[in-house]
Amino acid sequence: MINKDEKMMREALRLAKKGMGRTSPNPAVGAVVVREGKIIASGYHKRAGFNHAEVEALLKMPGRAREDDVLYVTLEPCHHHGRTPPCTQAILKKGLKKVVVGMRDPNPGVTGGGCEFLAKRGVEVRSGVLESECRKLNESYIKFVLTGRPYVVAKSAMTLDGWVATSSGHSQWVTNEMSRQFVHQLRDRMDGVMVGVGTVLTDDPLLTTRLKRGRGRDPVRIIVDTHLRTPDRAKVLNSESSSETLMIVGPDVPAQRLRRIEREGVSILTCPTKQGRIDLGVLLDLLGSRDMTSILVEGGSAIMGSLISERLIDKFFIFKAPKILGGHDGMPMASGFGPEKMDAALRLNDIKVRRFGDDVLIEGYVEK
């Protein structure tokens, strides 16, 4: 038998997903109001600074609440003044007496505040309905509010024998069109997409979101380029995208070289180095200070190797294509030095496997 509360929370989750990639640094949230087993109003958070999901739903609700009306919301209603007024006040003003919450807000400054405030004013509050699904929906937001760093997702595409490119660096295309469209969907939901300068020099990528029918939102393009070797004519420096390109450079780049790439839509962020390369841990702190909650890392092997060795990746999307290069001189997913023993390998859990035509996608979370 289907649990009534779970059924309604799933609808709130479905609505919340519409806001993914649009609400940062806020979470994606959905809400529905139920009367006599039927949804009479619904809403979701569309963008930071816009109405929260609860308010969106309550504005569509006819009149004041009846005694048995229930508000379902994927995240604990806020009880603080931010860009918008507290949702708890809107709930009380509407006269609702029962609220079902998917998960408490993990933000240390507000955890429990909304639920406790409502409960003290006679509202019946139940939390934890489909909590794991609600947490997965906002995994980027959760890490961001707890650590100040963005959630790091690594994507790689390789042949069956483990190469991401040929010995010359050629990689277009390892995977098929279906797999590449999925990657564009990932970009659409991320605050930033990151590559190292090696990828720029080899592939000259656009790093924009290209979904069918022109849909999609471009993330900030983040180029890790310690010595600023990116050519003036690189596509990432000359894009017509409305989102910016952020060049991450070391502290020793000459001023004249910096001026060479100055143009509209391109920003420079100087970052400390470690062992001659950008200190990626410090970089994540700097990106978090810019309210970036999620980063998709697409290569190359040097930056991927550094992120893996420093345990800075939260989640992997690894595509395997039915191709074999053979030989021993292809480009690996990650370069550098790995552990000497297998039990020191990075382990993934909560594994999902999907097919995109002949390609196979392995999705997994880094074991903490």
Catalytic residue among 6, 11, 54, 116: 54
Give 291's contacts (C-beta < 8 A, 6+ positions apart): 24, 25
Q: Which of 95, 108, 35 is nearest to 69 (CA)?
A: 35
Beta-strand ranges (E) seen in 174-251 are: 192-196, 220-224, 245-249
CA distance 192 to 286: 13
Helix or strand (DSSP H, E) at 131: helix 131-137
CA distance 138 to 290: 18
6 is catalytic: no
CA distance 13 to 206: 32
CA distance 259 to 361: 42
CB 226 within 8 A of CB 277: yes
Q: Of all residues in the chain, what percent are helix, strand and coil, respectively (each to 5)?
A: 30, 25, 45
Here the contacts of 242-251 (C-beta below 8 Å, separation 24 or greater) are 242/218, 243/217, 243/218, 243/219, 244/220, 245/220, 245/221, 246/192, 246/220, 246/221, 246/222, 247/223, 248/222, 248/223, 248/224, 248/278, 248/283, 249/225, 250/226, 250/278
Active-site annotation, residues? 54
